[in-house]
């Protein structure tokens, strides 16, 4: 079991650039979650998918953020255009039941 | 609506002392409850979970938690702290029936262990 895989692990970009974060969930898991973690706001759920369908995107901050899950083994979180306040650690997690398994995260820095 | 309150954003204990991290929840349905641990620069890792079986749940690394319905609590304990227990700990409760894959998270408690 390779666990949840996220790429890249670190991303540094300039304000205004497009950023794409990638996630490969654990094989067989049918729910996928995107979280953002900052010192100020803690752990925030951005969006989650069930069977590749977005179920709850109420945590997506604004239209600059979008997420897709084209198949059961891949998801992306895109920020366009990026802003310095988007700097955070972004986690992907997957689950088969309620227990969520987290990836190692992507640390995003927007300068 | 479901909610989780973790009392104390920072807890400091001496090595060998009892660890007690507090979690209270609110739920409109019978809850499933979780404790996760996050070590520096890592993702969250499941410590233990309550899924309506035994009220005293044992997890990894010597941690355990007791579900107390009357107190709506799910406090995490460890009899003797080790330096390696220094980390961030998160309590979570299952979402409502309509959003049943979602977990509601507490703000976390940072545990420091002093030599």
Query: pLDDT (tens digit, 9 = 90+) per residue, B13-37?
Result: 999 999 999 999 998 878 899 999 9
Which chain B residues are within 8 Å of A31, Cβ to Cβ?
Answer: 101
- pLDDT attached to residue A40: 87
Q: Which residues, including other chains, have CB under 8 Å from residue A110's CB and lie 6 or more apart? A: A13, A14, A15, A17, A19, A82, A83, A84, A85, A86, A87
Helix H or strand E segment including B41 = none
In whole angstroms, what is the distance from residue A35 CA to residue B43 CA? 11
Q: Is residue B108 within 8 angstroms of chain A, CB to CB?
A: yes
Q: What is the mean pLDDT of residues A81-95?
A: 97
What per-residue confidence (pLDDT) applies to B99?
A: 55
Least confident of A78-82, B26-30, B65-69: B26-30
Pairing of strands B10-14, B109-114: parallel
Residue A99 Cα, gap to closest chain B Cα (Å): 8
* Beta strand A10-13 pairing with A65-71: unpaired
Closest Cα in chain A to B40: A104
In chain B, what is the straight-line distance between the N-terminal and C-terminal CA atoms, in Å? 41
What does the pLDDT read at residue B97? Answer: 60
| Beta-carbon contacts of residue B39 (< 8 Å; ≥ 6 apart) | B45, B87
Structure tokens at A96: 């088969």
Distance from CA of A103 to the nearest CA of B (A): 6
Partner residue facing A56 (CB), from B46, B102, B107: B102
Do A98 and B34 count as a contact with CB atoms less than 8 A apart? yes
User: Does A25 reach chain B within 8 Å, measured CB to CB?
Assistant: no
């Amino acid at each position: 079991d390779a666990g949840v895989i996220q790429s890249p692990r670190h991303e540094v970009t300039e304000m205004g650039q497009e950023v794409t974060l990638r996630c490969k969930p654990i094989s067989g898991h049918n729910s996928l979650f995107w979280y953002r973690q900052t010192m100020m706001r803690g752990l925030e759920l951005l969006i989650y998918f069930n069977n590749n369908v977005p179920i709850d995107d109420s945590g997506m901050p604004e239209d600059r953020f979008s997420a897709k899950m084209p198949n059961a083994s891949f998801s992306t979180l895109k920020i366009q255009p990026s802003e310095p306040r988007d700097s955070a650690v972004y986690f992907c997690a997957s689950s088969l039941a309620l227990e969520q398994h987290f990836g190692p995260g992507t640390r995003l820095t927007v300068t | 609506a479901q909610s989780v309150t973790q009392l104390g954003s920072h807890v400091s204990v001496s090595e060998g002392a009892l660890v007690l991290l507090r979690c209270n929840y609110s739920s409109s349905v019978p809850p499933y409850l979780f404790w996760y641990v996050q070590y520096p620069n890592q993702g969250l890792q499941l410590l233990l979970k309550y899924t309506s079986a035994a009220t005293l749940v044992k997890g990894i690394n010597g941690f355990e938690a007791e579900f107390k319905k009357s107190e709506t609590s799910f406090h995490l304990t460890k009899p003797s702290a080790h330096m390696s227990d220094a980390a961030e700990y998160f309590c979570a409760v299952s979402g409502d029936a309509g959003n049943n894959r979602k977990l509601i998270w507490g703000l976390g408690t940072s545990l420091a262990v002093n030599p």
